[in-house]
């Protein structure tokens, strides 16, 4: 049988590919459009759990679930598109885990239950981050906090998320005598949550893209089939975003009592972004010979811009996602990967009914798994120097036990500065840490910490 002639691309298709290639530098980066698409899909699958988990967390602060769902999808789409088009990095963005917990369980209660004021704090922090990204001050802010304390903050947020997840799964519960105790592990919700957790970890260990999302959907399906959770529909017209759109109370957030919250949002966003950009950049081979990330200013502008947009839409801080490493592992090397992720998040808006069907015990194991990955950073702590690891431990321990990320950071920074002074290692006192510690002590004296 005669060989069929190969189909040649239409001139318009070739021209379009060339334009995309030139804009993103595909050939120069050693990648192709098809590879970038596959990488974008992989990254999306690994972080799509956020469209279920973020509304579940923020709704506990009194926010409308459906509206937050749409805001989450749109903020992730906007942030990822900004990172791809402005900085040309294969790094996706979405409302950050840990940051949403601080928003819902610390900031909102501190403000008397006003999530509008908390959104105002996120908006202001995003604007400040944007301004800092335009100045050389941003590098100082990123590099000023010692590595050990950055690790302590990440681990502390991990433990904080673990408590929230275990409580949502019914694995632990409050106790008047011991503060916390084992929950009813015979309850279907606890059993489903434990199965979901083990499934996520097993799939992740075997290299399955979207392990967390698969685990959430699997438990949801089992819950529906067994009659534990009703199913209304898989897809429908998106819910209204009106309940959260432009609802941030900027003037209320400017009250002196809330300055600490704004600063905490700013600090957490800066640290989280810096860690993700450097970590993912190193894995993708994008760092220069001195370990610096090219186009850092553009990346920071994209990240801070996404936070401002997210707050206006109605969600907590939007930041770069470490899950982007999964897409890079699939060959993603340019901003086109992030642009594809943005497209997938927009398409996800039609899945709102499915998101509302997902029970809390299906998303709870995702929180615990993410917590485990964050806690793993403790392996890099310098455990030989007591003045270094004790402040890390203070942050990691007090953050979940005080149920406050800000308090954990403040106590850790105070401990770090005090130990350096008491051991007469004055040259090791970090100016930025000492300043933050002093401000925290003032706020503590005034009863303004949260």
pLDDT given for residue 7 in this prediction: 53
Angle at 240 between CA 235 and CA 246, to 5 degrees: 140
* Domain annotation covers residue 350: yes
Tens of pLDDT, residues 12-33: 555 566 788 888 888 887 888 8
pLDDT band at residue 155 using 50, 70 and 90 as cut-offs = confident
Structural domain span for residue 111: 21-378
Tens of pLDDT, residues 379-399: 888 899 999 999 999 988 988
pLDDT given for residue 246 in this prediction: 92
Q: If DSSP codes are grouped into helix, strand and coil, which group holds residue 448?
A: coil
Question: Maximum Cα–Cα distance for the chain, whole Å?
Answer: 88
| Top mean-pLDDT range of 106-110, 197-201, 273-277 | 197-201
pLDDT given for residue 1 in this prediction: 47
| pLDDT > 70 fraction of the chain, expressed in percent and rounded | 85
pLDDT given for residue 278 in this prediction: 67
Quick one: tokens of 252? Answer: 């209320």
- The pTM (predicted TM-score) of the whole model is 0.71
Quick one: tokens of 284? Answer: 């993708």
**Do 193 and 392 meet the contact criterion of CB atoms below 8 Å apart?**
no
* Domain annotation covers residue 159: yes
pLDDT given for residue 190 in this prediction: 92
* Distances from the Cα of 208 to the Cα of 46, 211, 370, angstroms: 9, 6, 16
* Domain annotation covers residue 279: yes
Residue 123 pLDDT greater than 80, yes or no: yes
Residue 258 pLDDT greater than 60, yes or no: yes
Q: What is the mean pLDDT of residues 241-270?
A: 86
Quick one: tokens of 253? Answer: 């957030």
Better-predicted residue by pLDDT, 119 or 290: 119
Q: What is the mean pLDDT of residues 357-370?
A: 80
d(CA 146, CA 432): 9
Q: What is the mean pLDDT of residues 223-237?
A: 78
pLDDT given for residue 307 in this prediction: 92
* Domain annotation covers residue 264: yes
* Domain annotation covers residue 88: yes
pLDDT given for residue 306 in this prediction: 93
Total domains in the fold of the chain: 1
Lowest mean pLDDT among 111-120, 231-240, 400-409: 231-240
Residue 2 pLDDT greater than 60, yes or no: no
* Domain annotation covers residue 8: no
* Domain annotation covers residue 417: no
Q: What is the DSSP string of 367-424?
A: HHHHHHHHHGGGGGS-TT-HHHHHHHHHHHHHHHHTT-HHHHHHHHHHHHHHHHHHTT
Tens of pLDDT, residues 392-431: 999 889 888 887 766 788 888 899 999 999 999 988 888 7
* Domain annotation covers residue 362: yes
Closest CA to 449 of 415, 390, 402: 402
């Amino acid at each position: 049988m005669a060989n069929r002639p190969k189909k040649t691309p239409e001139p318009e298709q070739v021209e379009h590919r060339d334009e995309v290639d030139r804009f993103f530098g595909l050939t120069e980066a050693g990648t192709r459009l098809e590879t970038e698409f596959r990488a974008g899909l992989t990254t999306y699958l690994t972080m799509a759990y956020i469209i279920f988990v973020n509304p579940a967390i923020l709704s506990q602060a009194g926010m409308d679930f459906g509206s937050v769902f749409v805001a989450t999808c749109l903020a992730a789409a906007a942030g990822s598109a900004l990172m791809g088009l402005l900085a040309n990095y294969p790094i996706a963005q979405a409302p950050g885990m840990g940051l949403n917990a601080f928003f819902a369980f610390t900031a909102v209660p501190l403000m008397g239950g006003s999530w509008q004021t908390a959104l105002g704090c996120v908006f202001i922090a995003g604007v400040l981050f944007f301004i800092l990204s335009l100045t050389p001050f941003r590098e100082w802010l990123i590099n000023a906090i010692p590595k050990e304390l950055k690790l302590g903050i990440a681990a502390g947020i991990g433990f904080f998320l673990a408590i929230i997840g275990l409580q949502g799964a019914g694995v632990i519960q409050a106790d008047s005598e011991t503060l916390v105790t084992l929950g009813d592990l015979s309850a279907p919700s606890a059993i489903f949550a434990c199965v979901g957790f083990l499934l996520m970890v097993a799939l992740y260990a075997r290299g399955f893209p979207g392990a967390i999302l698969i685990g959430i959907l699997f438990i949801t399906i089992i819950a529906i089939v067994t009659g534990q959770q009703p199913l209304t529909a898989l897809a429908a017209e998106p819910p209204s975003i009106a309940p959260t759109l432009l609802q941030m109370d900027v003037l209320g957030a400017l009250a002196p009592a809330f300055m600490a919250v704004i600063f905490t949002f700013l600090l957490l966003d800066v640290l989280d972004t810096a860690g993700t950009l450097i970590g993912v950049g190193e894995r993708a081979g994008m760092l220069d010979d001195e370990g610096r990330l090219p186009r850092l200013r553009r990346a920071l502008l994209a990240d801070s811009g996404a936070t401002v947009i997210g707050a206006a839409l109605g969600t907590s801080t939007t930041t770069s996602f470490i899950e982007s490493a999964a897409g890079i592992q699939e060959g993603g090397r340019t901003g086109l990967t992030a642009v594809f992720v943005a497209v997938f998040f927009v398409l996800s808006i039609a899945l709102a009914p499915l998101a509302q069907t997902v029970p809390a015990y299906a998303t709870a194991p995702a929180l615990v798994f993410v917590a485990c990955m964050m806690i793993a950073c403790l392996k890099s702590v310098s455990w030989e120097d007591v003045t270094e690891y004790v402040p890390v431990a203070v942050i990691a321990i007090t953050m979940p036990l005080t149920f406050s990320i800000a308090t954990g950071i403040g106590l850790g920074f105070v401990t770090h500065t005090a130990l350096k002074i008491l051991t007469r290692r004055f040259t090791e006192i970090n100016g930025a840490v000492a300043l933050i510690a002093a401000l925290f002590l003032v706020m503590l004296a005034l009863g303004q910490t949260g």
